A and B are shown apart, each in its own frame.
Chain A
Amino acid sequence: MAETAGDLKARLAALRAEFGEALARARDAAELQAVRDRFLGRKAGSVTQLMKTLGGLAADARREAGQALNEAKVEFEARLETARAAAEACARKERLARDRVDTSLPGRMPWQGRRHPLTTVREELEDIFVAMGYEVYDGPEVEDDYHCFEALNMPRDHPARDMQDTFYLAGTGGLLLRTHTSTSQIRYMLENPHPPEVRIICPGKCYRRDAPDLTHSPMFQQIEALVVGPGISLGDLKGTIEAFLHALFGEEHPVRFRPSYFPYTEPSVEVDLGCVACGGNGCRVCKGTGWLEIMGSGMVNPAVFEAVNARLGRVVYDPEQVTGFAFGLGIERVAILRHDVGDIRLFYGGDLRFLEQFR
């Protein structure tokens, strides 16, 4: 049945009202899609249906009505899009309102390991000295009498050997476990018989026949330093030791030097650090003295240079031309003071309850 242009207009107006109502009722994306299908669907949509009736109109009326229908279609599309965007925004808002985690639940930490506290201290010491131009030298832990004692001015039957009770290795013709890293002084000088300038540190494990207790471990770690060159003085020893102890423990701790004895240094100097636990007032850690005995040091005994020259077969380290200083520090000692460790054996016990306390 042919319709008139007027009918069509009236039906379009009714449709627009209907669309408005339907749009207003639609609450989410699905319902909006249903509205779209109802009015703009390709086959059954009301606007599409109405389009199909245009055929019955006169050309002029058809053009006019077609234009109106097209405008309505564009208008509906736009209103649908606006409603869809609004609905989505609303949905996001609702989701956000519900979207919560319990932030107090534990975080998911990746596995995280830790360096051994003695490694941390050793590497820090290495870094301090490397920054001052030192090479880091590694020597063997198994040594012979020559490198461990003889060349260090401790011939057989020397009483100072009592201080360093030694583990000997069976069936090796007298090989031993080094009792100190001072062995590296000799090794380095013998391996480097060139212009006698030396500036090294040698960290490593040492061994002494001390029964294990709170303060003794038959295996322990030291760091040795050796500086040799023309004009190296006790003042250089003092300045160097102050510099690194301040870097390690902080500028606020005074450093005290007092004469002591080691066969391989002359003069020999014991180094005390103002107690890091009490600030020098006297406490349990420093046994009330305000000072902590921290390391031994001294000017290289000319006898050590002479022993090295004798083995080299020529005078490379001429005690008349060069002087030097050396010192040795217990790595555990630093770690114990720093971390307030009450028992040296904890370092070597492998107990993770201990090791996991460090950073």
Chain B
Amino acid sequence: MRLPISWLKEHVDVPVEPRKLADDLTLAGLAVDAVEGRGDEAVLDLDITTNRVDCMNVRGVAREAAVIYGTTLRPLATELSETGAPATEALRVVIEAPELCPRFCARILDVRMGPSPAWLRERLESVGVRPISNVVDLTNYVMMEMGHPSHAFDLAKIPSRELRVRWARPGESVRTLDGVERRLEAGMGVIAGPDGALSLAGIMGGASSEVSDDTRTVALEAAYWDPPAIRRTARALGMHTEASHRFERGADPEAASAATARIAHLLVRIGAGSVRPGLIDVRPAPPVERSAILRPARLRALLGVDVPEARAAAILAGLGFGVGQAESEGRRVAIPSWRGDVAREADLIEEVGRHHGLDKIPSSLPPARRRGGLRRAQLAARQVRDVLVGAGLDEVVRTSFVPAGLEARPAVTVANPLADVEGELRTSLVDPGLLDTLKRNLNHGHRDVRIFEVGRVFLPSGAGVEERTHLGVLLSGAGRPRTWSEETRDVDFFDAKGLVELLAARLGWPISLGKGPVPAWIHPGKSTCLLASGEGIGHAGAVHPEAAARLELRGEVFVAELRVDALLEAKPAEARARPLPRHPGVSRDLSLVLDGAIAAEELVAWAHQGAGALLRSVRVSGRYVGVQIPEGKVGLLLTLHYQEPERTLTSDEVQASVEGAVRALRARGVEIRGE
């Protein structure tokens, strides 16, 4: 809101320079964003919070300034000399919807239409309002000055000289001042004549009763409208006017009569007309007196500072509150009609606090009565990041919004998406998030993309939404750092699997690999299901060649995605230290040639079966194909490890166990070399 200092000074003495005023207003809660110009030419740009509609005008700010500087708010000139027949003879006002309009004031003005005097035009222009004609300009001037919107009807264009305030009827419409034909619905308020709506209540006047150069008599309306009704209607019609902005935030019901008087007063003063006797004031319900009790002890407890009672009372009185006598339960404070935002004691305390000065409140720290800390899942999530970052992956955070209809899986749809933002919530971190991230980075010339994300995905669940925490990983490009000394190799399945194994080992996650469904865009022959407690929690594998072609990816891309909520929550068993072995262990290598279709884990199982309980562990320590190995076969090096905690192994028993393993493997057609 723009506020010329010169206008402000008509209402209150301001003993400081504009910049100081700007700081003081800001620290009292009326944020001044900028000061243009100097001295009395200066204009303040205020950003008034939505609750302070009473300060969205010159007089409201002047009231605050008067409290800040201990000066007086000058009274507003509204005295009138009325002439002609009583106003009530010219216009009848009926309120059919008192819940929409608790108060409706009107005056009848005989006018000489024409341009406004220069001072009035300039003042309106200084606050960004376009001058139109003297009558319209005065309604705008008074709205900017004291905050209450009003509207001028051409009395001659009001059929039957009767205004009815009511809810719109089905199928009704009104052409508003901006020339737009508005189709109305139930729940929208109108001011109507006998034949239909004339004006959109509290938002915009109608074209049919608009004042023009030919207007001789004006019905000047100033009402108080139900804020939710105005807000709903303005939103439904996509309208936002100076009037609706104020009424939907709650105007001052007592200002309606004053606004008409002020406009009439100024009309006479600029020589643009006269005012007929009497105020038409229709008020279905008596005004509500509102008050709250203010207790000094409560004020001290909430603010954490002692504000002298006299100081608190002076602040409230200066702001227009009626401060009662100090009684045992506190002071009863009457709330002024323009302060719809104030209802209870805490609100009064805020008023005192902001004018006493927040800087006068000493800082303290609340005593800690309980232990704080991260929860298990939060600590585990940090550890996941530590492990993956340590393994050379960059963390990314991608949007929860994804394009609609991305995959067959049902997704949660945003009912009101932004025009250029996707409209569904993600069900996976990898598709499309990490894949899209890969593509973008490939386009920028990044060759090795190793990324992960930990975040929520959203799945429809009945009429609700199930949020799950996922971990997504993507590897592409080189499988180990590129250096000047060694050839690199491409990332492969075992890099992805190794990361999953690393996480399982470091976090104590009981993850196993198994068979199960993987998404259609995953390579069926280079992937695995991830299981925890026998339940599928995700997958790891290569992106399907078809999907990779569709995405125009270069080289093979490996991903893993798993649901981690339960894993993060679970408390892994503490590590227990075992005594170190005091006797030497023994390792034996077996060089095997076997059918390429035999899985390594089967071999390991066979070796264990044949070798018996003495065998501690078996490791695949080499794998070969090519020259030395017949077509369709692979060479594998198995390392058998023996270790007894309490004794030294004899070579005979080890030999017997190794031979057992060899027999078991041979029985399955595995050729043993060098035995």
Docked Cα-Cα span, A356 to B248, in Å, equals 48
**Which of A135, A197, A270 interacts with B369 by CB under 8 Å?**
A197
Whether A113 and B392, one on each chain, are in contact in the complex, defined by CB atoms closer than 8 angstroms, is yes
Selecting from B175-183, B458-466, B555-563, B596-604, the interface stretch reads: B458-466
Whether B50 and A168, one on each chain, are in contact in the complex, defined by CB atoms closer than 8 angstroms, is no
Whether B400 and A232, one on each chain, are in contact in the complex, defined by CB atoms closer than 8 angstroms, is no
Q: Contacts of B414 on A, CB cut-off 8 Å?
A: 167-170, 177
Instruction: Give residues 431-490 of B contacting A (CB, 8 Å).
Output: 433, 436-437, 440-441, 444, 446, 449-452, 455-456, 458, 460, 463-465, 467, 480-481, 483-485
B362 near A: Cβ within 8 Å? yes
Q: Contacts of A130 on B, CB cut-off 8 Å?
A: 372-374
Q: Contacts of A160 on B, CB cut-off 8 Å?
A: 50-51
Interface residues as binary, A101-132 with B (CB distance below 8 Å gives 1, 0 otherwise): 00001101111111110110001001001101
Whether B368 and A132, one on each chain, are in contact in the complex, defined by CB atoms closer than 8 angstroms, is yes
**Which of B228, B353, B375, B440 interacts with A136 by CB under 8 Å?**
B375
Whether B420 and A211, one on each chain, are in contact in the complex, defined by CB atoms closer than 8 angstroms, is yes
Q: Contacts of B127 on A, CB cut-off 8 Å?
A: none
**In the complex, how many angstroms separate the beta carbon of B449 from the nearest chain A beta carbon?**
7
A71 near B: Cβ within 8 Å? no
A72 near B: Cβ within 8 Å? no
A313 near B: Cβ within 8 Å? no
**In the complex, how many angstroms separate the beta carbon of B59 from the nearest chain A beta carbon?**
20
Whether B388 and A113, one on each chain, are in contact in the complex, defined by CB atoms closer than 8 angstroms, is yes
Assuming the contacts A142-B465, A233-B301, A233-B302, asked whether A113 and B484 have C-beta atoms less than 8 A apart, the reply is: no
Selecting from A47-55, A83-91, A258-266, the interface stretch reads: A258-266
Whether B397 and A266, one on each chain, are in contact in the complex, defined by CB atoms closer than 8 angstroms, is no
Docked Cα-Cα span, A105 to B347, in Å, equals 69
Assuming the contacts A233-B364, A235-B362, A301-B346, asked whether A119 and B400 have C-beta atoms less than 8 A apart, the reply is: no
Docked Cα-Cα span, A350 to B228, in Å, equals 43
B51 to chain A: closest residue by CB:
A261
**In the complex, how many angstroms separate the beta carbon of A274 from the nearest chain B beta carbon?**
14
A261 to chain B: closest residue by CB:
B49
How many A-B pairs fall under 8 Å by CB? Answer: 269
Docked Cα-Cα span, A271 to B465, in Å, equals 35
Whether B458 and A142, one on each chain, are in contact in the complex, defined by CB atoms closer than 8 angstroms, is yes
Selecting from B2-10, B27-35, B82-90, B316-324, the interface stretch reads: B27-35
Whether A209 and B395, one on each chain, are in contact in the complex, defined by CB atoms closer than 8 angstroms, is no
Instruction: Give residues 321-355 of A contacting B (CB, 8 Å).
Output: 323, 347-353, 355
Selecting from B377-385, B546-554, B629-637, the interface stretch reads: B377-385
**In the complex, how many angstroms separate the beta carbon of A39 from the nearest chain B beta carbon?**
43
Whether A229 and B369, one on each chain, are in contact in the complex, defined by CB atoms closer than 8 angstroms, is yes
**In the complex, how many angstroms separate the beta carbon of A106 from the nearest chain B beta carbon?**
7
Whether A347 and B397, one on each chain, are in contact in the complex, defined by CB atoms closer than 8 angstroms, is yes
B371 near A: Cβ within 8 Å? yes
B350 near A: Cβ within 8 Å? yes
Docked Cα-Cα span, A114 to B452, in Å, equals 10
Selecting from A3-11, A18-26, A239-247, A277-285, the interface stretch reads: A239-247
Docked Cα-Cα span, A169 to B446, in Å, equals 37
Whether A172 and B463, one on each chain, are in contact in the complex, defined by CB atoms closer than 8 angstroms, is yes
Assuming the contacts A130-B374, A157-B232, asked whether A235 and B353 have C-beta atoms less than 8 A apart, the reply is: no
**Which of A175, A236, A259 interacts with B464 by CB under 8 Å?**
A175
A267 near B: Cβ within 8 Å? yes
Q: Contacts of B164 on A, CB cut-off 8 Å?
A: none
**In the complex, how many angstroms separate the beta carbon of A324 from the nearest chain B beta carbon?**
9
Whether A352 and B394, one on each chain, are in contact in the complex, defined by CB atoms closer than 8 angstroms, is yes
Interface of chain A, main secondary structure: mixed
**In the complex, how many angstroms separate the beta carbon of B186 from the nearest chain A beta carbon?**
16
B396 near A: Cβ within 8 Å? yes
Whether A267 and B353, one on each chain, are in contact in the complex, defined by CB atoms closer than 8 angstroms, is yes
Docked Cα-Cα span, A226 to B465, in Å, equals 26
Docked Cα-Cα span, A211 to B467, in Å, equals 25
Q: Contacts of B485 on A, CB cut-off 8 Å?
A: 108
Whether B412 and A197, one on each chain, are in contact in the complex, defined by CB atoms closer than 8 angstroms, is no
A146 near B: Cβ within 8 Å? no
**In the complex, how many angstroms separate the beta carbon of B607 from the nearest chain A beta carbon?**
33
B370 near A: Cβ within 8 Å? yes
A257 near B: Cβ within 8 Å? yes
B366 near A: Cβ within 8 Å? yes
Whether A113 and B450, one on each chain, are in contact in the complex, defined by CB atoms closer than 8 angstroms, is yes
Q: Contacts of B446 on A, CB cut-off 8 Å?
A: 352-353
Docked Cα-Cα span, A170 to B480, in Å, equals 45
Docked Cα-Cα span, A266 to B354, in Å, equals 11
Assuming the contacts A113-B389, A170-B414, A261-B51, asked whether A350 and B396 have C-beta atoms less than 8 A apart, the reply is: yes
Q: Contacts of A348 on B, CB cut-off 8 Å?
A: 397-399
Instruction: Give residues 127-165 of A contacting B (CB, 8 Å).
Output: 129-130, 132-138, 140-142, 156-157, 159-160, 162-163
Interface residues as binary, A158-188 with B (CB distance below 8 Å gives 1, 0 otherwise): 0110110001111111010100000000000
B666 near A: Cβ within 8 Å? no
**Which of B248, B394, B399, B412 interacts with A169 by CB under 8 Å?**
B412
Q: Contacts of B305 on A, CB cut-off 8 Å?
A: 234-235
**In the complex, how many angstroms separate the beta carbon of A161 from the nearest chain B beta carbon?**
9
Docked Cα-Cα span, A349 to B451, in Å, equals 13
Whether A118 and B375, one on each chain, are in contact in the complex, defined by CB atoms closer than 8 angstroms, is no
Docked Cα-Cα span, A121 to B64, in Å, equals 39
**In the complex, how many angstroms separate the beta carbon of A110 from the nearest chain B beta carbon?**
7
A56 near B: Cβ within 8 Å? no
**In the complex, how many angstroms separate the beta carbon of B187 from the nearest chain A beta carbon?**
11
**In the complex, how many angstroms separate the beta carbon of A248 from the nearest chain B beta carbon?**
16
B194 near A: Cβ within 8 Å? no
Whether B394 and A355, one on each chain, are in contact in the complex, defined by CB atoms closer than 8 angstroms, is yes
A308 near B: Cβ within 8 Å? no
Docked Cα-Cα span, A119 to B388, in Å, equals 14
**In the complex, how many angstroms separate the beta carbon of A257 from the nearest chain B beta carbon?**
4
Assuming the contacts A199-B372, A323-B302, asked whether A258 and B29 have C-beta atoms less than 8 A apart, the reply is: yes
Interface residues as binary, A183-204 with B (CB distance below 8 Å gives 1, 0 otherwise): 0000000000000010100000
A76 near B: Cβ within 8 Å? no
Assuming the contacts A157-B231, A168-B416, asked whether A260 and B49 have C-beta atoms less than 8 A apart, the reply is: yes
Whether A236 and B231, one on each chain, are in contact in the complex, defined by CB atoms closer than 8 angstroms, is no
Whether A205 and B363, one on each chain, are in contact in the complex, defined by CB atoms closer than 8 angstroms, is no
Subset of 12 A-B contacts with CB under 8 Å: A116-B397, A132-B368, A135-B372, A141-B458, A157-B228, A169-B425, A171-B460, A218-B418, A219-B401, A235-B363, A238-B363, A268-B350
Known contacts A126-B378, A138-B377, A156-B228; 19 further A-B pairs (Cβ under 8 A)? A113-B452, A116-B396, A119-B385, A126-B374, A136-B373, A141-B458, A168-B415, A169-B414, A199-B370, A209-B418, A212-B418, A232-B366, A259-B28, A267-B346, A267-B350, A267-B354, A268-B350, A302-B346, A353-B446
3 smallest beta-carbon distances between A and B, as pairs: A111-B392, A235-B304, A233-B304
